[in-house]
A and B are shown apart, each in its own frame.
Chain A
Amino acid sequence: MFEAFAAIGRGTTRRFSALGGPARFAFEALAALPSLPGAGRRVAVRVLLNQLRFTALQAVPLVILLSGVLSFVVIQTTMQTFSGLNDFVGTVMVVTIVRLLGPLLTALAVIGRSGTAITAELATNTVMGEIRALEAIGIDPYHYLVLPRLAGSVLSVTVLIVLFDVVALTGGWLATSVNQASGGRYVANVLAALDTSDIVLTVVKGILFGAIIGLLPSYHGLKVSRGPTEIPQAVTRGTVASIGSIFVITAILMLLFRA
């Protein structure tokens, strides 16, 4: 009996200590920010702009496609299932897309495109000895590699979530118009359903999801130690950890903001 409790305790301790590594990494990354040298800032900004190009700009077509298809599916399902409730399509769009699916699907898309790439790139850098070489020539990998990716992810995810929501709501208006429902009533419903907390929550989710996508894949990429065979495993760990964290944060925010 005692052994069984001990085994549960060991497993729990191991799981919680696994959270310690990423937490420490996040702390060290943020703590490194004030020591970024003036000259290094210019280089870091260039890396950041490059990251924005990959993470935000190149993801725009995918986000528009996902958003358009999702809004079409939601509206068709709502109108077919609840034929008498066509006037409430706008409310349904705000509840399902702006509050839940928009941020989640955007984050998943960015994890799939950029999170995996960040882990693979940093893991390769580590295996090739580039990280150690950077430290040896006096360049902090947090400054050159991690912080620009963190800032790039936060900005990109926030902007892409807003884009997702705008495209979905615009798509909803087009779909209601095509289905001979009142476009004006749709817009009125959307505006009535939206409140300040939706805007705050969108920004909060953008920052938190972006931070997760910037930090966890970087952490798992830089943690590689054994060799190239570990790179795919690192990508898997980074991806799974990012997806899991985003779902947990979604649930926590829902409890906090709707309480």
Chain B
Amino acid sequence: MTSEPLPLAFEGIPLGLLPGAGRRGSDPNAVFSLEVRPHETVVVLGDETSGVDRLAALALGLDPAPAGRAMVWGTEIALLSRVRQLAFRRRVGYLPAGDGLLQNLSLRDNIRLPLRFGSDFQPDDIEGRVNVILAQLRLKAVAHFRPAAATEEERRRAALGRALAFDPELVILDQPFDGLGERVAAELLEVARGGDVAEGGHRTVFITGQDLPAKLRPRVERLIRLGAVPAGVHA
């Protein structure tokens, strides 16, 4: 009997050996392991010395793990060829810290870009999908704004829209709620989860950050705090 690979798994990642760890004063003996099951919403919190800000990049293979493994659907993205890495990442929705929107494109074009670049959809289908995302994230009125002209909340909404462009099964959100109010954060989390199914959210959601608004905690299946245990964090 074969079991389906987990959407996301970290195995024995030494947080103290990640880039910048010495500068951050991380415990060199701390290792991080975590399994994220389908339809779960899992949040990992930690301060800036904990290494929590590196987990998303490890999962997506943007940074290599110094030891241990970070796997998405059983695959270590960092070990794939560059072409396969890029193709694999299109299966994962990712909202980077800050937002990572391209400043020379409008919010609409930022959401449209991954669809235009990485899919064979017809232009009309792409427009339809983008319009649905804009409506879902209440961005239609400001869709023509460049990121510099939009508010922080609008930029974060657009970045989430870009992450959801391919309607991925797994969404990784890196510090998504920093600077946002509880109501907006709760709304964005609901959009990221994509509604509810019997097992939890429609999508599997992995969130990293320094804090989580209290209003969101009932919607989270598991919340893990890094740094609470001095050495060896096992979830």
Interface residues of A (CB under 8 A from B): 32, 35, 37-40, 42-43, 121, 124-125, 128-130, 132-140, 143-144
Contact = CB atoms under 8 A, between A and B. Distances in A.
22 contacts: A37-B117, A38-B120, A39-B116, A39-B119, A40-B116, A40-B117, A43-B116, A128-B98, A129-B96, A129-B100, A133-B100, A135-B86, A136-B89, A136-B100, A137-B118, A137-B163, A138-B86, A138-B90, A139-B86, A139-B113, A140-B86, A144-B117
B79 interface: no
Contacts of A38: 120
B136 interface: no
Given A133-B94, A134-B100, 16 more contacts: A35-B83, A39-B117, A43-B113, A129-B96, A129-B100, A132-B62, A136-B94, A136-B96, A137-B90, A137-B94, A137-B162, A138-B114, A139-B113, A139-B114, A139-B118, A140-B86
Contacts of B97: 129
Contacts of A143: 117
A140 B82 contact: yes
A225 to B, nearest CB: 11
Given A35-B83, A137-B94, A132 B117 contact: no
A122 B113 CA distance: 18
B100 A37 contact: no
Interface string B80-98: 0011001111100010111
A129 B101 CA distance: 8
Contacts of A132: 57, 62, 96, 100
A130 B100 contact: yes
Nearest to B89: A138
Contacts of B88: 138
Contacts of B216: none
B120 A42 contact: no
Interface in B187-219: none
Contact of A129 (B98, B113, B163, B165): B98
B67 interface: no
B134 to A, nearest CB: 17
A239 B89 CA distance: 35
Contacts of A134: 100, 102
B226 interface: no
A63 B57 CA distance: 46
B98 A138 contact: no
B151 interface: no
Contacts of B94: 133, 136-137
Contacts of B90: 137-138
